[in-house]
Amino acid sequence: MRRLAGRTALVTGGGQGVGRGIALALAAEGAAVVITGRTEGTLEDTARVIAERGGRVQTVVGDVGERTDVERMVAETVREFGGLDVLVNNAQSSVQRCLEQTSYDDVQLAYRSGPLAAFQAMRAALPHLMASRGSVVNLGSSAAVLGEAGFASYAMAKEAIRGLSRVAAREWGPYGIRVNIVCPAALSPAAQEYFAAHPEKAEQVVAGIPLGRMGDPETDIGRAVAALVSDDMAYLTGATLMLEGGRTLIG
Residue 12: helix, strand or coil by DSSP? Answer: strand
CA atoms within 13 A on the CB side of 228: 31
What ranges make up the beta strands (E) of 123-223? Answer: 135-139, 178-184
β-bridge partners, 88:
11, 137
**Cβ atoms within 10 A of the Cβ of 1, count?**
6
Q: Tell me if residue 194 is catalytic.
A: no
Residue 202: helix, strand or coil by DSSP? Answer: helix
DSSP state letter for 70: H
Nearest to 90 by CA among 175, 13, 165: 13
CB 23 within 8 A of CB 50: yes
First to last CA, the chain: 41
Say which of 104, 111, 154, 194 is annotated catalytic.
154
What ranges make up the beta strands (E) of the chain? Answer: 8-12, 32-37, 57-61, 86-89, 135-139, 178-184, 240-243
DSSP state letter for 30: T
List, by residue number, the catalytic residues: 154
